[in-house]
């Protein structure tokens, strides 16, 4: 096995670094500064032609898409730990929340990041900012209801918490944590108190 993650702090590669530590997988993590223009240069495009982060290499095999990568790592290198199988009773919830973290919330969170943090103020569009906030709130309300009275999205910590937990991190770092309800805040504190999160989020170039 020769696994290598190209990691950029704060970005979706954090999901992968977090999963690597949770699963105790032996992988090289090459950490680079998150410099968006560099992701569009030939050296990086040769690794990930979409110019996005993350990218993981398993020998010659390249994989992009953070949620796909963490499932790959669990199923191929950790006996499916933190994943669920079709025969498991919580399989439907598992799939739902794995997808909800990125397909459901990722686009809105990305818009939130752009419209409240990344874009210079003069390039922000107020209607887009409000749209991103409202759609994010809608997603957070769904999670708030599900998490009320629960510690994790499933009965125990799983990859679904890594998928959703990372997006909540984006909501927090863009100073939109006020959109989160009480159950969500407690949940965020719980998942980010984990040792694997601490190790992954401390990675620096």
Ligand X SMILES: N[C@@H](CCC(=O)N[C@@H](CS)C(=O)NCC(=O)O)C(=O)O
Tell me which residues touch ligand X (CB under 6 A). 11-12, 36, 39, 52-54, 65-67, 102, 106
CA distances from 176 to 83, 88, 148 (A): 29, 35, 20
- Output 120 or 149, the one with its CB closest to ligand X: 120
In the bound complex, what is the minimum distance in angstroms from residue 20's beta carbon to ligand X?
A: 15
Give the whole-angstrom CA distance, residue 115 versus residue 109: 10
Do residues 129 and 116 lie in contact, with contact meaning Cβ atoms separated by under 8 Å? yes
Minimum distance of ligand X from residue 148's CB (angstroms): 27
- Residue (98 or 153) nearer to ligand X, CB: 98
Question: C-alpha dihedral over 166, 68, 3, 59, to 10 degrees?
Answer: -150
Closest contact distance (angstroms) between CB of 19 and ligand X is 12
- Of 76 and 150, which has the nearer Cβ to ligand X? 76
By C-beta, is 11 or 174 nearer to ligand X? 11
- In whole angstroms, the minimum distance from the beta carbon of 92 to ligand X comes to 22
Q: Shortest gap between Cβ of 149 and ligand X (angstroms)?
A: 29
Nearer to ligand X among residue 113 and residue 140 (C-beta):
113
Give the strand pairing for 28-31 and 55-58.
Answer: unpaired
Provide, rounded to whole angstroms, the least separation between the CB of residue 16 and ligand X: 9
Angle between helix 91-99 and 159-173 (nearest 10)? 30
DSSP class per residue in 79-101: TTTT---TTSTTHHHHHHHHHII
Number of Cβ within 10 Å of residue 119's Cβ equals 14
Give which of 153, 105, 108 is closest to 133, Cα–Cα.
Answer: 108
Spell out where 27-129 has E strands.
28-31, 55-58, 61-64
| Complex with ligand X: residue 102 or 144, whichever CB lies closer | 102
């Amino acid at each position: 096995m020769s696994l290598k993650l190209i990691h950029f702090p704060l970005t979706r590669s954090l999901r992968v670094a977090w999963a690597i530590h949770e699963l105790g997988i032996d992988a090289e993590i090459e950490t680079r500064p998150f410099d968006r223009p560099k992701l569009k240069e030939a050296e990086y495009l040769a690794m990930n032609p979409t110019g996005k982060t993350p990218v993981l290499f398993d020998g010659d095999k390249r994989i992009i898409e953070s949620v796909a990568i963490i499932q790959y790592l669990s199923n191929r290198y950790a006996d499916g730990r933190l994943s669920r199988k079709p025969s498991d009773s919580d399989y439907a919830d598992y799939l739902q929340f794995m997808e909800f973290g990125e397909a459901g919330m990722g686009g809105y969170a990305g818009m939130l990041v752009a419209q409240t943090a990344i874009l210079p103020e003069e390039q922000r569009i107020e209607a887009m900012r409000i749209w991103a906030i409202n759609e994010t709130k809608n997603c957070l309300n769904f999670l708030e209801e599900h998490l009320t009275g629960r510690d994790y999205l499933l009965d125990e910590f799983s990859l679904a918490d890594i998928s959703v937990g990372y997006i909540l991190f984006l909501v927090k770092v863009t100073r939109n944590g006020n959109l989160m309800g009480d159950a969500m805040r407690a949940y965020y504190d719980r998942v980010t108190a984990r040792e694997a999160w601490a190790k992954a989020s401390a990675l620096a170039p």
